[in-house]
Amino acid sequence: MKSLYNINGLLFLEEKDIRLKRFFEDTIREELKSILLSQNSQWKFFQIEAPSLIPLDLVNSNYTKDDIWIQYSDSKLALKPETTPSSYIYGEHLLDSNIALPPFVVWQTSKSFRREQDQPQKFMRLKEFTQQEFQCIYSADTFNDYQENVLEPIRKMFQDIISLSTRIVESDRLPDYSLRTMDIEVFVDDRWMEICSISKRKDFTKKAIFSAKSKTIEKELLVLEIAIGIDRILYTYLERIKSDIKNQSSVDKNDSMN
């Protein structure tokens, strides 16, 4: 990962970085599928790839013009600051078209864009970054607390992938769309860095319609959102590798002196 433009928050990936990034994306996808299916074998999965441009009226109102990149030639469009709205739109399409009923997952790995403040690369506050997000849509009346039950398996998954200490913490922010948000952090560069956010969201307004005994039943829906910063996964893994090499060099040097 290299910063070659004279602009903060824009990174180049080399071939080895790209290979690792694909490996992480594929591994996380398969592991999360297994974790969710262990909770409920009825989960169905739909992968999408949404455009980088999004209608401005779909952008969450928590983002101001200071946060997002607006296309001034067409003020109705913006570079998307997150993947959630496009996944929601596709989830509504699945329900409207009778393709799927809850529980189902709409997921994508996609670029997002934000006007982040300039900071050293180690903080990974990027203006263009890759998100892997899983919007897990389920009936609000389910007895399974999906969020609580997946926290530890997901934390362990990341610890196994990166081989660094991880922890689960309550998020220091609770957006108005969330009933509860928990973060998974990894210990790198002598500090904790957020790599994943897991929220129980209440802002998917579409209802599911079930047919039962010649009548229809409408059900409210909730969303378990699993949002992963793939660039941060790559960064922390590479930092761990550099640290391992440095430590091994020190050991080898001490051995040679002895």
SS3 track for 140-207? CCCCCCHHHHHHHHHHHHHHHHHCCCEEEEECCCCCCCEEEEEEEEEEECCEEEEEEEEEEECCCCCC
pLDDT at 213 over 80: no
Q: For 236-241, which contacts have Cβ atoms below 8 Å and span 24 or more sequence positions? A: 236/162, 236/164, 236/186, 236/188, 236/193, 236/195, 237/20, 237/24, 237/161, 237/162, 237/163, 238/1, 238/17, 238/20, 239/188, 239/189, 240/162, 240/163, 240/164, 240/188
> What is the C-alpha to C-alpha distance for residues 101 and 95, in angstroms, rounded to an integer?
6
pLDDT in tens, 222-249: 999 999 999 999 999 999 998 878 776 6
Residue 24: DSSP 8-state: H
Higher pLDDT, 125 or 216: 216
> What is the C-alpha to C-alpha distance for residues 96 and 172, in angstroms, rounded to an integer?
36
- Chain-wide mean pLDDT for the chain? 90
Q: Strands 77-79, 53-55: parallel, antiparallel or unpaired by DSSP?
A: antiparallel
What pairs with residue 12 in β-bridges? Answer: 2
Question: What pLDDT, on a 0 to 100 scale, did the predictor assign at position 8?
Answer: 81
Block residue for tokens 């070659």 = 4
Instruction: Mention every residue, 6+ apart, whose C-beta is less than 8 A from residue 155.
Output: 166, 167, 168, 184
Structure tokens at 209: 């319609």
pLDDT at 15 over 80: yes
Structure tokens at 118: 């300039």
Q: Which helix (H) or strand (E) holds 106?
A: strand 104-113
pLDDT at 35 over 70: yes
Residue 117: DSSP 8-state: P
Question: What pLDDT, on a 0 to 100 scale, did the predictor assign at position 68?
Answer: 82
